[in-house]
Amino acid sequence: MIKSIEWLGDRVRWLNTLKLPWAEEYVESDDPERIAVAIERMEIRGAPAIGVAAALAVALAAVKYGGTSVKELRARLRTVIERLRATRPTAVNLFWALKRVEGVVSRDYAGVDEMVREVVAEALRIYDEDVEVNRRIGEIGAKLIEDGDVILTHCNAGALATVAYGTALGVIRAAWYSGKRIRVIATETRPMLQGARLTVWELVKEGIPVKLITDNMVGYVMSRGLVSKVVVGADRIVLPGYVVNKIGTYTIAVLAARHGIPFYVAAPMSSIDFENTIESVKIEERDPDEVRTVLKSTYITLPTVEVLNPAFDITPPELVTAIITEKGVAYKPFDETLPVLR
């Protein structure tokens, strides 16, 4: 099983997804700041993975503290939490995981040892739950997949976006291993190419049939009847069912509706933001050079051209057939069905 992140007691180890598919480079660090940078650079990426990595970074900061003051440790951990909160703005799992750890940090403790133990335990619970939740999403979602389906997925909502197994790719894995003869179409996902680099790598490794297309081929491929279902992940779902996910998801949803293709979103309950409105969600704008170049190497345009580089888009609820969570499948109206699963 591909494990994108691991806790080694006094260090965290992760698979540097920026190096895939050319090299399987594992990075180890005992420095919470190094993990914050890894999230910013997208060595660790995908909503659930960044939440887990952030929780482990706080646990590392706790383990490394050599002092004896609960008050001092609490202040230090809060600083680390604030730093991690500033890494990426869109995926709600980051804020969800940090809020959980912060809750533990805020409790009263008899001594530093107890506090460190509790902070580490909470981070590891978040870690373990992620694996379990993805398995459940897979099991539940696989029931919606039929033998012979061709499933289009966008970006990477796989093991490389979670601790292991994945959400959208969890559904695909569970359907495949239950014996359904499915095939996958992966979109390349400009500009960071998560589909071409990561989804293809994961699926080929397990022998799940996959074909790669460029993002602008989706309409044609759908119009030729080559796609029977779409399954994607989410960075944040906001009531009444807006799905914030990798840039390009909205285009695919519009095209799926045009062609009568079911559009499924597979996401853990931790990706559902019950508190904010869609207007208040910040869509991350990344480095313009991601668009001007291919992976920051070759310029494909004039180096000075102005560009837009929103990392995510918003798919409105009317384009979403169902949301697959670890608690069950939600259908519209999502503002009634999702709170019931909570």
Chain contacts with ligand MRU (rule: CB under 6 A): 45-48, 91, 155, 157, 161-162, 167, 194, 233-235, 245-246, 311
Q: Which residue is nearest to ligand MRU (CB)?
A: 233
Residue 63 or 91 with smaller CB distance to ligand MRU = 91
Contact indicator for 107, 56 with CB cutoff of 8 Å? no
Residue 32 or 138 with smaller CB distance to ligand MRU = 138
* 223 Ramachandran zone, left/alpha/beta (phi>0; psi -120 to 50): alpha
The tokens 């050599």 sit on which residue?
A: 66
Least distance (Å) between residue 170 CB and ligand MRU: 8
Alpha helices in the chain, H assignment, sequence order: 32-41, 47-64, 70-85, 92-105, 112-142, 168-177, 194, 200-205, 218-223, 249-258, 289-292, 334-341
Least distance (Å) between residue 137 CB and ligand MRU: 9
Least distance (Å) between residue 43 CB and ligand MRU: 11
3-class DSSP assignment, residue 238: strand
Give the C-alpha separation, 274 to 241, whole Å.
10
Residue 48 or 63 with smaller CB distance to ligand MRU = 48
Question: Quick check: is 235 catalytic?
Answer: yes
Least distance (Å) between residue 246 CB and ligand MRU: 3
CB burial class (10 A; 0-12, 13-18, 19+) of residue 127?
A: buried
Residue 246 or 292 with smaller CB distance to ligand MRU = 246
Give the C-alpha separation, 338 to 149, whole Å.
27
- Active-site choice (10, 108, 128, 235): 235
List, by residue number, the catalytic residues. 235
